[in-house]
């Protein structure tokens, strides 16, 4: 039963993490019976605390929702935004753990179609050093130990706290270029029009980082287009994480209706790139907690050669080759005739 519980919670964590990658309305993450806030972010000085509220809604119109709340640590699962929850009861505390400083109720009961607002508190001791600290509040229906876990009522709230002061900030660029989100590969020569530019950063510091910046894309004729915000969702590179950030070469935003609420949907669409050679320049900035702003600058290039363009070039080369050979043959024939005409007669 414990493994089943872990699987269920981890599955919903993936869904919630997705909400940090795509734009959302004022944050709420909904399962079939549970609506919660997927992310909380604070900046708290040593020796101070923040009192906040957690609002939980029961979307089921017939059954009450009995939840158990638990604070666990998490790290990254891959180079995206998916968290890996440490759900085992004996899981060691991470160096960035917020568990000792985060207080939430252990249980709550919510009537059908009702909601409850719970008190939560984050208190940072005066001796705590500067840096980033984070943990997750896990919601599950059933008993705290060994009880049933309702598949329709599990979720996670990720809680991030920044403690100001002098910290170690160290982001290293590992890769930059045209990127295919489906294959998760960078391309130097591609027959498919790139929709995204991406860069991969390694965070070796002791704070989470949310880089900002722009990408300038220049074609072989000198025409430029600017990707103004390379991290529009303010995604984070966690401590020790190597994370890939990607943005649309051309972004299409439109409002959609989701459960009766209007939200903005963003999708990558064709940028109308012409076949040829492209050079991209990345300008990144990062820094927090009053530390110096750091800059990363890099360049990358790629060739966009669609199949129709390759076929057209081959046909053109064949046509040119044909007429060049025909012209050479014609010139050689003319030259040969002139030589025969100008040749003097042999005397006897």
Query: What average pLDDT does the segment 80-92 reach?
Result: 88
Domains located in the chain, CATH noted: 2-163 (2.60.40.10), 171-305 (2.60.40)
| pLDDT of 337 | 64
Cα 145–148–150 angle (5° rounding)? Answer: 125
9-13, 107-111, 155-159, 176-180: least confident range? 9-13
Portion of the chain with pLDDT greater than 90, in percent: 62
Neighbours of 69 (CB within 10 A): 19
Dihedral, 88, 92, 95, 97 alpha carbons, nearest 10: 40
Q: pTM (2 decimals)?
A: 0.74
Give pLDDT, residue 16: 39
The number of C-alpha atoms within 13 Å of 217 and in the hemisphere containing its C-beta is 27
Q: What is the pLDDT of residue 20?
A: 38
Between 21-35, 133-147, 150-164, the lowest mean confidence (pLDDT) is in 21-35
Beta bridge partners of 197: 178, 247
- Average of pLDDT values for 314-325? 95
Mean pLDDT confidence for 85-113 = 93
- State pLDDT tens for residues 10-63: 333 433 333 333 333 333 455 557 888 899 999 999 999 999 999 999 988 888
* Mean pLDDT lowest among 117-131, 227-241, 325-339: 325-339
Mean pLDDT of 78-107: 91
Higher-confidence residue of 29 and 120: namely 120
- pLDDT at 98 (0 to 100): 96
The answer to whether the beta carbons of residues 45 and 163 sit under 8 Å apart is: yes
């Amino acid at each position: 039963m414990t493994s089943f519980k872990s699987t269920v919670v981890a599955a919903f964590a993936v869904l919630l993490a997705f909400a940090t990658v795509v734009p959302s309305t004022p944050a709420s993450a909904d399962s079939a019976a549970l609506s919660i806030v997927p992310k909380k972010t604070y900046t708290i000085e040593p020796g101070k605390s923040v009192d906040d509220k957690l609002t939980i809604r029961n979307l089921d119109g017939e059954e009450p929702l009995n939840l158990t709340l638990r604070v666990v640590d998490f790290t990254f699962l891959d180079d995206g935004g998916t968290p890996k929850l440490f759900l085992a009861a004996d899981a060691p505390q991470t160096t960035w753990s917020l568990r000792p400083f985060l207080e939430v109720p252990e249980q709550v009961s919510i009537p059908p179609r009702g909601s409850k607002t719970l008190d939560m508190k984050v208190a940072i001791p005066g001796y705590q050093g500067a840096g980033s600290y984070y943990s997750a509040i896990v919601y599950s229906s059933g008993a705290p130990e060994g009880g049933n876990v309702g598949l329709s009522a599990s979720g996670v709230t990720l809680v991030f706290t920044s403690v100001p002061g002098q910290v170690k900030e160290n982001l290293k660029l590992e890769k930059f270029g045209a990127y295919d989100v489906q294959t998760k590969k960078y391309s130097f020569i591609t027959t498919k029009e790139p929709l995204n530019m991406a860069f991969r950063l390694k965070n070796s510091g002791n704070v989470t980082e949310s880089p900002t910046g722009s990408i300038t894309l220049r074609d072989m004729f000198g025409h430029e287009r600017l990707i103004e915000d390379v991290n529009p969702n303010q995604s984070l590179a966690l401590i020790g994480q190597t994370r890939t950030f990607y943005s649309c070469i051309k972004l299409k935003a439109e409002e959609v209706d989701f459960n009766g609420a209007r939200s903005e949907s963003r999708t990558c669409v064709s940028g109308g790139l012409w076949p040829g050679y492209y050079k991209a320049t990345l300008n990144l900035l990062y820094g927090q907690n009053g530390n110096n702003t750091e800059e990363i600058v890099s360049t990358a290039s790629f060739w966009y050669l669609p199949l129709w363009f390759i076929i057209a070039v081959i046909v053109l080369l064949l046509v040119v080759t044909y007429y060049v050979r025909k012209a050479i043959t014609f010139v050689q024939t003319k030259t040969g005739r002139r030589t025969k005409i100008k040749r003097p007669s042999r005397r006897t």
